[in-house]
Structure 1
Amino acid sequence: MPAAPEAAPLPLPTTTIRVGLVEDDAKTRAILERAIADQADMQLVLQAASREQALALLPRAPLDVLLVDLGLPDGSGLDVITAARRQWPDCSVLVSTIFGDEMHVLPSIEAGAMGYLLKDASAPGLVDEIRSVHAGGSPISPMVARKILARTALRQAPREPGAHPPSERTTPPQRPTVTLSPREHEVLLRVSKGFTAEETAAALGISPSTVLTFVRRIYAKLEVNTRAEAILEAQRHGILPQ
């Protein structure tokens, strides 16, 4: 009886996506590193935990996709986006951050980001989005997309006769009072004491991703970028004790 023919080997990917990762949280970075390393069609060619480190490593190897956080310990990820687009024009930049407010979203897009995701996606989900942006897509978290659309609609809305555009106002509008929900206040209190997302989640009985969602909302309400700024601004508003 003739031997059964051997099964043909599965075809290997014809292209490899060269990925860069800029993330200051060690645990998050390790999870993403493993997820990317497990993909047959991806190669992690850059890993950085700070703005300075990312800027130093960018010229060393070409990138197809750069996954970058905005809130880095020594500066803004916007500088990394700008440098990456200048160094490797064909590189698609995908932002992954806790910041969902206009003051972060719009500058990121203007700097050259092709996608903008909030840090509530799983590692496998981010891997899929890396493929998406590399293929020409523009993955954007629904909440972020809604804000962009709302801003566009506001700009296109007709003004009443005699009304002046915002740039022509002689006095800036008063800054509204910041109000946090009880749960947001609990999260901010623990963040101000140096608790990690995991420690805060355990104390409050919620998931770490939910903690990050609360942090994102707190930062947006306080209009800040870092924990230190959030503490100072919360103290200024009387939300936290001096």
Structure 2
Amino acid sequence: MPSPHVAVALVEDEPAVRERFVQAIAANPQLRLLHACGTGASMQRWMADHAVDVLLVDLGLPDLPGLEVIRHARRVQPACEVMVISAFGDAAHMVQAFEAGARGYLLKDGSQDELARHVLALHAGGSPMSPIIARQLLGRWRAQAPAPPARAQPRTGGMEGLSAREHDVLRLVARGCSYHEAGACLGIATSTVQAHVRSIYAKLEVHSKTEAVYEARQLGLLDC
């Protein structure tokens, strides 16, 4: 019978920070901490014999790069979701972590309640990110995205294309951000994000997020 708890493991070398994370996980009845350690090698040895749902990884470990711990976790436990919790908020670390296999990226300055909420969101299929990380990711998308081809215009005659703000909202939602997280990233209210989503649905002639993302990709509106 499946466990009612989300099993979590944590590797963080700073004892005070590690204890704060341990307390955050212990305070949430939906989470269960199975292991916490301060080195990458210790976590790799532990994962050889123990399954875990979510692994929290600090990038600046004393013995191994956190990126190597992420890659190892993805190899030995493909079902395990990995989230970075780091002091590094620059684009280079962010991109390297996602390329290594992380699905979420949080900065260490978040609250205990936020950490627990993001762990649950990751386990549920989301990609939690601190607002500054999401903002940098959005900036990279906008800088790298080619000009939309002519076929990207909605097919219905007379229907307007998506606005720049609707493009931003759609990219963040497609990446797994909640409406609240998308609003925080873009500096707008959650209700405004919801209004943009309704407009996107109408313009793309769809009725769900999954349909919207699929249709947008078919039309060339998304490059992710």
TM-score band, normalised by shorter chain: 0.5 to 0.7
Given that 1:35 and 1:123 are in contact with CA atoms closer than 8 Å, whether structure 2 keeps it comes out as yes
Given that 1:100 and 1:143 are in contact with CA atoms closer than 8 Å, whether structure 2 keeps it comes out as yes
Which letter does structure 2 place at the counterpart of 1:16?
Answer: H
Which letter does structure 1 place at the counterpart of 2:47?
Answer: L
Which letter does structure 1 place at the counterpart of 2:10?
Answer: L
What's the secondary structure of 2:74's corresponding residue? Answer: helix
Deviating more after overlay: 79-88 vs 36-45: 36-45
Which letter does structure 1 place at the counterpart of 2:121?
Answer: S
State how 1:169-188 maps to structure 2 within 5 Å. none
What's the secondary structure of 1:113's corresponding residue? Answer: coil
TM-superposed deviation, 1:61: 0.7
Of 103, 112, 116, 1:114 maps to 103
> Which residue in the other structure is 1:152 paired with?
141
Given that 1:18 and 1:45 are in contact with CA atoms closer than 8 Å, whether structure 2 keeps it comes out as yes
TM-superposed deviation, 1:110: 0.8
Given that 1:46 and 1:58 are in contact with CA atoms closer than 8 Å, whether structure 2 keeps it comes out as no
What's the secondary structure of 2:48's corresponding residue? Answer: helix
Count of equivalent residues: 146
1:54 and 2:43 matched: yes
The superposition leaves residues 36-95 of structure 1 with CA deviations (integer Å, 9 ceiling, x where unpaired) of 223322221121201121122111210100111101112311111111111111111111
> Which residue in the other structure is 1:6 paired with?
none
TM-superposed deviation, 1:31: 1.8
Structure 1 CA distance, aligned partners of 2:104 and 2:3?
24
> Which residue in the other structure is 1:127 paired with?
116
> Which residue in the other structure is 2:53 paired with?
64
> Which residue in the other structure is 2:10 paired with?
21
Of 86, 109, 127, 1:138 maps to 127
What's the secondary structure of 1:72's corresponding residue? Answer: coil
What's the secondary structure of 1:71's corresponding residue? Answer: coil
Quick one: structure 1 residues 21 and 14, their matched pair in 2 at CA, closer, same or farther if it must change by over 3 Å? closer
RMSD between aligned alpha carbons?
A: 1.7
* Higher Cα Rg, which structure: 1
What's the secondary structure of 2:103's corresponding residue? Answer: strand
Which letter does structure 2 place at the counterpart of 1:59?
Answer: A
Of 71, 78, 89, 1:82 maps to 71
TM-score under structure 1 length normalisation: 0.57
Of 88, 93, 97, 1:104 maps to 93
- Percent of aligned positions that are identical: 42
Structure 1 CA distance, aligned partners of 2:145 and 2:118?
31
TM-superposed deviation, 1:157: 5.2
Which letter does structure 1 place at the counterpart of 2:94?
Answer: V
Structure 1 alignment gaps of length 5 or more: 1-12, 159-242
Given that 1:117 and 1:139 are in contact with CA atoms closer than 8 Å, whether structure 2 keeps it comes out as yes
Structure 2 alignment gaps of length 5 or more: 148-224
